[in-house]
Amino acid sequence: METLWNLFCQIFFNSSEILDIVLAALYMAGVWGLLQKSGLHGWQALIPGVREYQLARCAGREPEGRVYSIVTVLQILLAIISLMLPLDVEALDDPEVLDALLNRLLILSVISIPLTITRFIYGIRVWSGLIQVYGQRKRWMLLCLLRYTMWIPAMLWGFLPRYQPSWKVEDFRAEMARLATSGSARVMDKGLTVNLNKRTVSEFFQKKTLLRDIHMNIPQGHMVLLLGGSGAGKTTFLNAINGYEKADAEVMLNGNNMYTQYKKMQYEVGFVPQSEMMRGKDTVLNTLLDAASLRLPKDVSPRLRRERVNEVMDIFGLKPVQNNLVEKLSGGQKKRLSISMEFISNPSLFILDEPDSGLDGVMARELFVQLRKIADTGKIVIVITHTPDRVIDLFDDVIVLAKDSARTGRLAYYGSIEEARQFFQRDTMEQIVKSVNRREEGGDGLADEFVMKFAGRAENGAEVQYV
C-alpha cells in the first residue's frame, strides 16, 4: 500500500513527503485560479504535463510550454521507475545484485540531472512571461522558482481580485482572428500579388502555424526590404513566394500563378540564398555558363547563352575576372557572382537573403546600388539584410513580419519607408525590428500591438486593396 501511495503522489504531486504534498496542492489550487483568469479550464491544473503547458499558454510562452510539459512528465516517469526498483535487503549481499542496482540508479541520475536543469530553465521562461502578463516586478521571480514558495504567487495571482492578467488566452486569439484579413489583395496584371492565408507544419502532434494572413501587392520596379526578428518567418515567407515551400496561398506574378504554373514561372524568379553554392576550382566564366545551362530554357541556343553570360558579367563588373578561379575572388566578387548566377535568367522577381553578409560598408553599398539599378529596369527586388539603415535610402517599401503571442509570423506592416517610421514611431529600421521583437530577445515586446494595429488599418482598406 505504501508503494501505491508513493506512486499516486509522484503522478499527481511529483512528491511523496507530506509537506511537499501540501505545498503542491496549494500550488495546483493557485494554478487552477490562474488558468480560469486566463479563460482556460481550471481543472487542467490537476494533470501533470497539461498543467505546465496551459500555464505557459497563459504566459504567452506556448512553445516553451511544450518542452516544459514533456520534461515534467519524464521526471515523473523517472521517479516512478526509481520507486519500482526491487529492493531486497538480503539480496544486496550479492555483489552482482548490488552492482546491477547501483548501475540502474546511476543511469536514472544521469538522465535526471539534464531534465532538472531543463525544467528549471523553462520554468524561468514561463514565470517571466506570467510576471509580464500580470504586470508585476521581476523580483517576484525569487518566489516563483523556489520549491517551497512558488505556491505563494500562484495563490495570490490566482485568487486575489487585484491581480488580473493583461489578456486572456481565448479572448486574444478571438481578437486576432477577428482582425485577420478576410479579403484578399486584388491581383495585378503587372507586379507581385501575395494572398497567404497560412503556412503550417506538423509539430508536437499538432499543426503549428508558421505564417498567416499576409496580403499585399508589390508593383514592378520596387525594391522592398523584408524585416523581422529571428523566427518571425522571413525565410518561410520567401520560400512560399517563390514556390519552394507551398503554403495555403495564391501567389501571382504578372498575372501568372506561381503554384499552378510553377514550371513556367521558375525562370521568372531568381533566389540568392545567404550561403554561396559555387565550386572553388571553376572559373567565373564556366560557373556562369553552367548556371546558364540550368537557369535558361532548354531551347535557348549555346550562342544566346554565351551572349547572356557576357551581358550579366558586364552588369556586375565580372568581365575582368572571368578567367579567375572562384576561390581566388574577393568576398565582394563572390557575392556578385552568386547574384549573377540567378540573374542569368533575367527574372521578373529577384529575392536575396542577406546578400551583404560578410561585406564591409563600402562593398555592401556598391552591391545595393547595383540591386537598385536592377529594380529600376522594372524588376521586383526583395531583400533581407541585418544592416538595413546604411542602405535604406535605396528601398521603396518595407515588409515587417513579427511573431504574435502564439508565435505565429504575422504582417506587422507593409508600405513605404517614411510611413513605416510614422507607423512605428521609430526613426530607424533597427529600432522597428527591436519594437516587435520579444522582450526575452532584447526587444520591446510590441508585436501583438502592431500586428493588430496594421490588421485594423488593412481591414479598413488603408494599406492594401481588397476585392
How would residue 467 be classed by pLDDT, with cut points 50, 70 and 90? very low
The CA-CA-CA angle for residues 134, 137, 138, to 5°, reads 110
237, pLDDT greater than 70: yes
Per-residue pLDDT at 268: 85
Whole-Å CA distances, 339 to 319, 352, 395, 426:
15, 8, 18, 32
31, pLDDT greater than 80: yes
How would residue 183 be classed by pLDDT, with cut points 50, 70 and 90? low
How far apart CA 465 and CA 340 sit, in angstroms, is 34
Average pLDDT over residues 348-372: 85
Per-residue pLDDT at 427: 92
Residue type, 367: L
Any idea where the domains of the chain sit in the sequence?
2-166, 175-459
Whole-model pTM?
0.68
How would residue 142 be classed by pLDDT, with cut points 50, 70 and 90? confident
104, pLDDT greater than 90: no
Q: Are 223 and 351 in contact (CB under 8 A)?
A: no
Nearest to 26 by CA among 151, 146, 153: 151
How far apart CA 88 and CA 104 sit, in angstroms, is 15
Per-residue pLDDT at 5: 47
Per-residue pLDDT at 89: 47
Q: Which backbone phi and psi does 61 adopt, to 5 degrees?
A: -125, 50
Per-residue pLDDT at 1: 44
Average pLDDT over residues 219-245: 88
4, pLDDT greater than 80: no
How far apart CA 232 and CA 263 sit, in angstroms, is 29
How far apart CA 40 and CA 56 sit, in angstroms, is 12
Cβ neighbours, 10 Å, residue 378: 13
Per-residue pLDDT at 270: 85
Query: Strands 380-384, 409-416: parallel, antiparallel or unpaired by DSSP?
Result: unpaired
Give CATH for domain 175-459: 3.40.50.300
244, pLDDT greater than 60: yes
Q: Return all residues near 450 (Cβ < 8 A) that are at least 6 apart.
A: 400, 402, 412, 413, 423, 424, 435, 436
Q: Are 209 and 199 in contact (CB under 8 A)?
A: yes
360, pLDDT greater than 70: yes
The dihedral sign for the CA sequence 33, 37, 41, 47: negative
How would residue 421 be classed by pLDDT, with cut points 50, 70 and 90? very high
